[in-house]
Amino acid sequence: MDVRPRALIVTADDFGLHPRVNMAVERAHRGGVLTAASLMIGAPAASDAVARARTMPQLRVGLHLVLADGDAVTPSHDIAALVDAHGRFGDNMVRDGVRFFFLPQVRKQLAYEIRAQFDAFARTGLALDHVNTHKHFHLHPTVLALILDIGREYGMKAMRLPFEAGAPFWLRPWLAHVRASLKRAGIAHNDYVVGIAGSGRMDEAAWLAALAGLPPGVGEIYCHPAVAGDRALSDGMREYRHDDELRALMSAKVANAIRAAGLRLGGFTDVLGG
C-alpha cells in the first residue's frame, strides 16, 4: 500500500465570522504556522476577511459552506424551507438532515443555497483551495452529493475528510462513505484531521501532544483562533478558548515541533496538488 509523504495543513475555520477571527487569521499566518483558512462567505465579516486574504497570497483560502447554525447568502424568501425570517439556518441538524433526504422541495432549496455560496466565493477572485462544511455537515450523503455535483463547476479539487483517530464507531460508516465518494469523484482529501475532539481547546499543549504522535500521510489540524474579546462569538462557542488557540499557532515550540517532525506545510493544493 502506498503511503503519502508526511505533510500538514494548518487551517483556521470560521474566517469571516467576526473581525476578531479575521485579525487572528492574519496574525497567525504572518507570524505563525497557519497555512489555510476556511471562509464563511455569508458571515458578517466576510468582506473584511476577503480584503485581508488578498494581502496574503500564500494563505490558502477555502469555502466553509454554512448549512447549519449560521447565515445563508440567499434571501430568506427564496429558501424559506431552510432558514428563519432573518436568513439564518437552525442548529437541529438531525431534523434538517431528514428533511434534506426525504423532501424534494427542501433539497432543491439546499442545492440553490450551496450553489449561491460557491458563486459568492468565486466572485471574490480568490483561488479555491478546498471546501468543507460548518459542523461537518458534508457527512450527510445528500449534502455531500450536492457539493460534489455543484463544486466541480467551480473548480473544486479538494475537500476535508473529517476522520479523527478515536472517532465513535457509529460515525465510521459515514466517514467511509465520504472517503469513497471523494475517491470516485476524483476529489483530493487529507488522510486524517486533528481538532474535532479538542474543538475550541487546541492550545499549545494540545498541539505538542498531537505533533508528537501524528500518523503517516497528509494531516490537517484545524482550529478556531480569534483575538480576545468581551463576549462569545456565538452561543456554541462560549467555552472556546480562541486566544489560547491563537497563541498556539504563533508558538515557537509548536513551530519547532513541526520542523523537527519533518512535516511539509501548506494548503490543500500545496500538499495534495491540483
pLDDT tens for residues 177-208? Answer: 999 999 999 999 999 999 999 999 999 999 99
Residue 96 within a domain: no
Residue 132 within a domain: yes
Phi first, then psi, for residue 205 (nearest 5°) are -60, -40
CATH of the domain at 18: 3.20.20.370
Distances (CA, A) of 19 to 25, 46, 49: 10, 9, 8
Residue 120's nearest CA partner among 90, 143, 154, 92 is: 154
pLDDT at site 2: 52
Inform me whether the pLDDT recorded for 1 exceeds 90: no
Residue 133 within a domain: yes
Residue 178 within a domain: yes
Q: Which tens digits make up the pLDDT trace of 33-79?
A: 999 999 999 999 999 999 999 999 999 999 999 999 999 999 999 99
The count of domains in the chain is: 1
pLDDT at site 131: 98
Residue 148 within a domain: no
Residue 95 within a domain: no
Q: Range of 188's domain?
A: 7-62+126-138+156-272
Residue 266 within a domain: yes
pLDDT at site 4: 75
| pTM, entire model | 0.96
**188-189 and 192-194 as β-strands: parallel, antiparallel, unpaired?**
unpaired
Residue 164 within a domain: yes
